[in-house]
Structure 1
Amino acid sequence: MTAARTIVVAGAGIGGLTASLAFAAKGFRVIVLEKAERLAEAGAGLQISPNASRVLVDLGLADRLAPRAIAPDAVSVMSARTGRALLRLPLGEQAAARAGAPYWVLHRADLQAALRAQAEATPAIELRLGCVVEDYVSHTHGITVGHRRHGARGDTQALALIGADGIWSAVRSQLFPSSAPHFSGLIAWRGTVDAAALPQREPLRGVQLWMGPGAHLVVYPISGGRLVNLVAIVPDDWQREGWSAPGEPHEIQSRFAAAGWAPAARLLVEAVDSWKRWALFAMPDGGAWTAGATALLGDAAHGMLPFAAQGAAMAIEDAAVLAQCLGDSHGPGTSGDPLSVPASLQRYAQARRARVSRVQRLARQNGKIYHLTGAMALARDLAMQALGAERLMGRQSWIYDWRI
């Protein structure tokens, strides 16, 4: 297949691999350049809401994900003060029937492994590990991407370059040198624990969102229910880049003990023997999207705080919309003029910008609400109970009901 039908994707994370599969489904050849020598675990648990799961199902991933994904029965909003549930937001079959697609929780590594297996089974996709994008130049015939692998320099001619290389995107740094993520003042601690080691008598079947003074905790099962994922969010001025810096268990345990969290929450935190932590950075609202024959997606475009559980979902949505925009003007049976690529990428940006901005704002607002203290926290709890589960779930419908 000629360069006029080739797309280069920088990054083999969830967004990059999803985009590769979506491009291949539109008849493109895809070359994925990933700087890592191997695709190791990055992060731990993920929540994949129906707006994203329906994209994955449409790409043929349901059978690969079914053995590992869990459809939680509910989100229980927990009070750190009392240790009791304020309310229970139903998910499971009820949410799937309402949205027309499942709500899944799963290990990030399981999703990435399923995407990789699907990509490797797709002849139109070539995955090159240990390959770093060094530079790129747009021209009348598309784009030339310079890359280096095992010390050897190479150039690839393509229709477009897609930067799916994360919050510290090298593609974005060349495309928009002044656009960079900013530190939120929060860090996330993540850990997993064998489900059998938890102090709870009953297996955890749903998501628990614990809200407390200046911090919150999210807990849910992954890996077919064998493991439980914990993410604790606390304020801090530690700002190291990366996802997997080790954290001392006594440090996070002491934070929750000093803040007077209920014993049930502290027992969950104390059950984890090994913690990783990462500083939470986010892109400015609206993100950074496209110029010439280059476009960004996922965290590279709009890295956001994780407090709406939509980071991975927005990357998956991006991939589907981008493939459609390029496929409409460059798919089989079209003229495929490289000069029209910038317009196709601009349509993608226009289709995504407002929705992503709204999710970014929601995530930031949720973080503030979760961490309220004193009388404000009590007012929050009473307001949520007064609204009730049905109306609170209804406020999420604009996210979950999205379709391309």
Structure 2
Amino acid sequence: MSAPRTIIVAGAGIGGLTTSLALAAKGFRVINLEKAERLEEAGAGLQLSPNASRVLIDLGLAGRLAQRAIVPDAVTVMSARTGRALVRLPLGDAAGARAGAPYWVIHRADLQAALEAQVNAHPSIDLRLGCRFEDFANDVHGVSIGHRCRAERRQDSALALIGADGIWSTVRGKLFPTAQPRFSGLIAWRGTVEAKALPQRAALAGVQLWMGPDAHLVVYPISGGRLVNLVAIVADDWRREGWSAPGDARDIQRRFAAAGWASAARLLIDSVENWKRWALFAMPDGGVWTAGSTALLGDAAHGMLPFAAQGAGMAIEDAAVLAKCLGESHGADASNAALPVAASLQRYAQARSARVARVQRLARQNGGIYHLKGPIALARDLAMQALGGERLLARQNWIYDWRA
């Protein structure tokens, strides 16, 4: 029998591990189920803007992450046609000071490793690897969860179940069987290269966003500057599920050469030997969230296109709001202990759905803007240059200045 304040989290990705830490900080006992036998890299680099980094810092991760993350000096928007910089959005320490938290770029594996270490050090979190969530049912304690740890079938009772198990969520499939992600018609090619393998003129101190016809490329340093992360987005009808299908380097090289991209961008693409492909699926705007004592979080609730660099950020925000809502009614210092779990989860959904929908729309709009061609692309470039980096960056303040 589980303790009265036990919560089960399905999934130990970025969202699931952050949720476990946030709930434990509110006085809950957490069981975190993860089907993988060990946590390994899924993806390559990611960006953590201040709205996300401040949550992680508040959870005590500053020391672990500061050693692994890089503070980029700027986001530089590049023209695929000319190879020149169009505009520079200043980041660095000054932007972090304004927002009250840093803007970080980091290897996904480094972030996951830091979260896992923090989880394993917490006495109130039981991380169970090799344990696959299977089903759930409401019971007198809240919810009863069936899961399989290797060959053994187990049953646990908990106050609530949180599905943080990704875009192809098993929990969502049980909760909302008709809510399915939709293919965007785009795929991401992901790869990394040793920074020392690039010519000096390709050295990076920040993020580069290359915009071209029907495609774009994002490049930034990770792993303390030792590696450079590349993500190339192109239109395609390949739609296999998963994050890490192998891709033929010659295919992506031919695509960008045929489209007439500048030599500096092609140099970056040609430097990567091992590419992985990821078909981009997204959930409907606003996501799907909760029913009874079960709630969804991160990609399971609202998987989005990555063109606002907020996929991980929104999952981290979800974790903070979920823990706050449950903590106010059922945590160690509950201020409203009479509120049912289902009502607390509804408050969480109401607090998140409009903001998430706005970010989903922004990501989709950004993708369209990045891929313009012809005269309208030239008009876009001129408009960006006229606005300037400071004003373009200020348009992101509604994202970066968020607090739980």
**Shorter-chain TM-score: which interval?**
over 0.9
1:119-176 alpha-carbon deviations (Å, 9 max, x no partner): 0000000010111111001133210000011111100010000000000000000000
- 5+ unaligned residues in a row in structure 2: which ranges? none
Partner of 2:35: 35
Q: Any conservation in 2 of the 1:45–1:106 contact (CA below 8 Å)? A: yes
Aligned-pair distance for 1:389? 1.1
Q: How is 1:58-97 mapped onto 2 (pairs within 5 angstroms)? A: 58-97=58-97
AA of the residue aligned to 1:14: I
Which region of structure 1 is more displaced relative to structure 2, 337-346 or 144-153?
337-346
Aligned-pair distance for 1:339? 7.2
- Is 2:344 aligned against 1:332? no
Counterparts of 1:106 and 1:383, CA distance in 2:
31
Counterparts of 2:204 and 2:318, CA distance in 1:
32
Q: How is 1:380-395 mapped onto 2 (pairs within 5 angstroms)? A: 380-395=380-395
1:340-376 alpha-carbon deviations (Å, 9 max, x no partner): 0000000000000000000000000000000000001
Counterparts of 2:36 and 2:364, CA distance in 1:
31
Aligned-pair distance for 1:338? 8.9
1:241-283 alpha-carbon deviations (Å, 9 max, x no partner): 0000000000000000000000000000000011001100000
Judged with a 3 Å threshold, the aligned counterparts in structure 2 of structure 1 residues 335 and 136 are, in CA distance, closer, same or farther, namely farther
Counterparts of 1:230 and 1:394, CA distance in 2:
25
Aligned-pair distance for 1:200? 3.4
Counterparts of 1:124 and 1:133, CA distance in 2:
20
Equivalent residue of 2:201, what SS?
A: coil
- Is 2:264 aligned against 1:303? no
Q: How is 1:3-402 mapped onto 2 (pairs within 5 angstroms)? A: 3-201=3-201, 203-334=203-334, 340-402=340-402
Counterparts of 1:79 and 1:111, CA distance in 2:
31
AA of the residue aligned to 1:242: G
Q: Any conservation in 1 of the 2:212–2:372 contact (CA below 8 Å)? A: yes
Q: Any conservation in 1 of the 2:22–2:319 contact (CA below 8 Å)? A: yes
Counterparts of 2:191 and 2:294, CA distance in 1:
36
AA of the residue aligned to 2:370: Y
Equivalent residue of 2:219, what SS?
A: strand
Counterparts of 2:140 and 2:372, CA distance in 1:
54
Aligned-pair distance for 1:334? 3.8
1:33-75 alpha-carbon deviations (Å, 9 max, x no partner): 0011111110000000000000000000010011110000000
Equivalent residue of 1:250, what SS?
A: helix
User: What's the TM-score, normalizing by structure 2?
Assistant: 0.98
**Aligned pairs, how many?**
404
What RMSD over aligned residues (CA atoms) do the two structures have, in Å? Answer: 1.3
Q: What fraction of aligned residue pairs are identical, expressed as a percent?
A: 77
Equivalent residue of 2:284, what SS?
A: coil
Q: Any conservation in 1 of the 2:327–2:333 contact (CA below 8 Å)? A: no
Aligned-pair distance for 1:202? 6.3
Counterparts of 1:390 and 1:221, CA distance in 2:
22
AA of the residue aligned to 1:227: L
Counterparts of 1:315 and 1:379, CA distance in 2:
35
Q: Any conservation in 1 of the 2:26–2:333 contact (CA below 8 Å)? A: no
Q: Any conservation in 2 of the 1:186–1:236 contact (CA below 8 Å)? A: yes
Aligned-pair distance for 1:333? 4.3
Counterparts of 2:82 and 2:233, CA distance in 1:
19
Aligned-pair distance for 1:236? 0.1
Judged with a 3 Å threshold, the aligned counterparts in structure 2 of structure 1 residues 337 and 217 are, in CA distance, closer, same or farther, namely same
Judged with a 3 Å threshold, the aligned counterparts in structure 2 of structure 1 residues 39 and 257 are, in CA distance, closer, same or farther, namely same
Counterparts of 1:92 and 1:69, CA distance in 2:
12
Counterparts of 1:10 and 1:202, CA distance in 2:
41
Which region of structure 1 is more displaced relative to structure 2, 1-10 or 252-261?
1-10
Aligned-pair distance for 1:390? 1.4
Equivalent residue of 1:366, what SS?
A: helix
- 5+ unaligned residues in a row in structure 1: which ranges? none
Q: Any conservation in 1 of the 2:2–2:156 contact (CA below 8 Å)? A: no
Counterparts of 1:2 and 1:173, CA distance in 2:
25
Counterparts of 1:80 and 1:2, CA distance in 2:
57
Aligned-pair distance for 1:98? 1.1
Q: Any conservation in 2 of the 1:142–1:338 contact (CA below 8 Å)? A: no
Counterparts of 1:135 and 1:273, CA distance in 2:
41
Counterparts of 1:369 and 1:261, CA distance in 2:
17
Aligned-pair distance for 1:206? 0.2
Q: Any conservation in 2 of the 1:51–1:399 contact (CA below 8 Å)? A: yes
Counterparts of 2:238 and 2:203, CA distance in 1:
35
Counterparts of 1:100 and 1:339, CA distance in 2:
33
Query: Which stretches of structure 1, 4 residues or more, deviate above 4 A after TM superposition?
Result: 335-339
AA of the residue aligned to 1:3: A
User: What's the TM-score, normalizing by structure 1?
Assistant: 0.98
Counterparts of 2:102 and 2:396, CA distance in 1:
15
Equivalent residue of 1:153, what SS?
A: strand
